[in-house]
Structure 1
Amino acid sequence: MRYNRPQPMNAALTARSFADLKPLRRALQEAAQQRAERERLRREAERRARAERHLFADAVGPVQPLKRGHERRWSTPEPPEPLPVQRALDEERVLRESLSDEFDVTTLLDVDDQLSFRRPGIGLDVTRKLRGGHWSIQRQLDLHGLRTDEAREALGEFIRLAHRTGLRCVRVVHGKGLGSPGRTPVLKGRVQRWLVQKKEVLAFVQARPLDGGAGALVVLLQPGRRRPGG
C-alpha cells in the first residue's frame, strides 16, 4: 500500500497567518485590561461605600446601648410665639398720636344749655340729632376709677377700635366728680380735650339724663369699616 507523504507548509503562508493573528491578540489583551479596570473600579466603589457606612462609627468609636428604663425621649420643641407686629405698630401709632392735656378746647365747644362739639363742616343738625338719640348707642366706655394716664390710654384705644369695627355712636362715661376732692370732675375736661384730638371723632354732645347726663358724652364717629355681617 502506498502512502502520500505530507507536503511541507509554505513558509510565506505561515508567516502571513501569524501576522493575521496579531490584531486578534491585541483585541483580547485590551478586553482583558478593560475587565481588570472595571473590576478595580468596582472594588474601589465598594470600599468607599463601606467606609461611608462606617464613617460615624469610626469617628465616634465604640459605643454602648443605653440600659432599658433610661431611654431618652425626644420631644419637638414648641414653636415660638408669633411676633405681635400689628400690635406693636398700633402701640407706636398711639405714642405718635398721644393725647395732650394742654390742648385748648374752649374755642371749639358749643356751650348752650348743653355742651357739644362738632368738627368744621358738620352742621348743627348733626349735634341736634345726636343729642336727640337719632343714633343708637352701640358701645360704652366707663372711665370710673381710672387714673388720668390710664383713662387717656383706655379712651384712645376704645375710639380706635370702635372706628375700626365700623361703630358710629358710642358713649364715654367720665363721671360727675361727686366722689372727687372738692366734688370737681377730674376727667370731664380732659375727656373733652382728648376726644377733640381724635380724628375719628366727628362730634359729641353731653348725654341725655337717661344716658348719664353731665357724667357722660355721646360721641359720633367717622364712618369706618363695616362690621362683619353688617
Structure 2
Amino acid sequence: MSKPRRPKSTLTEADRALFRDSVGPVRPLRRDRVELRPPPPTPRPQFREQDDLAVLRDMLSDEYDPAELETGEELLFARPGLQHRLLKRLRRGQFAVAAECDLHGMRVPEARQALVAFLNRCRRSQQTCVRIIHGKGHGSVQRIPVLKHKVARWLQQRDEVLAFCSARPVDGGTGAIYVLLKALR
C-alpha cells in the first residue's frame, strides 16, 4: 500500500523564513496526545485523619466538660425522637431550672407522693426544666441510693417527662437530676 500524496505547497521560501523567524526554534513533539485534565489525586481519608487528630488533641487537653464524663452512677433517660442537642444542653445544665423538689431523706411512699404533686404543679405552671434532689444514699442502711433508682423509674412512666439526667456537680451531681418536661399546648 502506498502513502497518500501531499499536496504541493504554495508557500514561497520567503514566507517560510518569515514563519520560522516569528515562531522561533522548535522541537518535535514526543507524544501526539494531549492530557485533558490532570490525574485525580490519590484518595486520602481526610475526615478520619481530622477526627484522629481531634481525639489526640482532646486526650492531651486539660479542658473537659464534667457533664460529658460518666462514672456509672449517672442517670440518663431520653424519649425516642428527642434531639441529641437538647439532651446535651440538659446534661450541661444550660436550661434555666424553674423549680426544685427535694426528696432527700424521705421514705419511698412519701417521696412518691411529693414527686407526683411536684410534677403536677410544674405541669400546671408550664415549667419545662426542673431539678429533683433524690440524694446519694449515704444515710440509707447499706449506703445505697434507694430513691435515686425509684425516681428514675417513676419519671420514665410519666408521659410529660421528655428526658432527665444527673445534675452537674455544682447542682448536686449524682444526688440530683435535671428533668425536661413537655410544654402544655
Question: How does the TM-score come out when normalised to structure 2?
Answer: 0.59
- Pairing partner for 2:144 from 184, 197, 200: 184
User: Distance in 2 between the 1:115 and 1:125 partners?
Assistant: 17
Q: How does 1:12-161 map to 2 (within 5 A)?
A: 113=70, 114-161=74-121
User: Distance in 2 between the 1:170 and 1:143 partners?
Assistant: 13
Offset at residue 155 of structure 1 (A): 0.4
Offset at residue 158 of structure 1 (A): 0.6
Equivalent residue, structure 1, for 2:26:
none
Equivalent residue, structure 2, for 1:21:
none
Q: What amino acid does structure 1 have at the position aligned with 2:159?
A: K
In the TM superposition, what whole-angstrom CA distance separates every residue of 1:58-116 from its partner, at most 9, and x where no partner exists? Answer: xxxxxxxxxxxxxxxxxxxxxxxxxxxxxxxxxxxxxxxxxxxxxxxxxxxxxx81431
Please tell me whether residue 209 in structure 1 is matched to residue 137 in structure 2. Answer: no
RMSD: 1.3
Equivalent residue, structure 2, for 1:171:
131
- Pairing partner for 1:193 from 133, 149, 153: 153
Offset at residue 124 of structure 1 (A): 1.7
SS of structure 2 residue aligned to 1:155: helix
- Pairing partner for 1:218 from 178, 181, 185: 178
Q: How many pairs does the alignment contain?
A: 114
User: Distance in 2 between the 1:223 and 1:193 partners?
Assistant: 21
SS of structure 1 residue aligned to 2:164: strand
Rg larger in structure: 1
Q: What amino acid does structure 2 have at the position aligned with 1:198?
A: R
Q: What amino acid does structure 2 have at the position aligned with 1:169?
A: C
- Mark the runs of 5 or more structure 1 residues left unpaired by the alignment: 1-111, 226-230
User: Distance in 1 between the 2:170 and 2:107 partners?
Assistant: 26
Equivalent residue, structure 2, for 1:50:
none
Offset at residue 224 of structure 1 (A): 2.2
Equivalent residue, structure 2, for 1:30:
none
Offset at residue 120 of structure 1 (A): 1.1
In the TM superposition, what whole-angstrom CA distance separates every residue of 1:162-217 from its partner, at most 9, and x where no partner exists? Answer: 01111011000000001111110110000000000111111001000000000001
User: Distance in 1 between the 2:93 and 2:105 partners?
Assistant: 27
- Mark the runs of 5 or more structure 2 residues left unpaired by the alignment: 1-68
User: Distance in 1 between the 2:178 and 2:120 partners?
Assistant: 16
Q: What amino acid does structure 2 have at the position aligned with 1:166?
A: Q
Task: Note if contact 1:116-1:127 (Cα within 8 Å) is conserved in structure 2.
Answer: no
Question: How does the TM-score come out when normalised to structure 1?
Answer: 0.48
Larger helix fraction of residues:
1
Task: Note if contact 2:131-2:178 (Cα within 8 Å) is conserved in structure 1.
Answer: yes
Offset at residue 132 of structure 1 (A): 1.3
Offset at residue 145 of structure 1 (A): 2.3
Offset at residue 118 of structure 1 (A): 0.6
User: Distance in 1 between the 2:121 and 2:96 partners?
Assistant: 18
Equivalent residue, structure 2, for 1:57:
none
Offset at residue 161 of structure 1 (A): 1.1
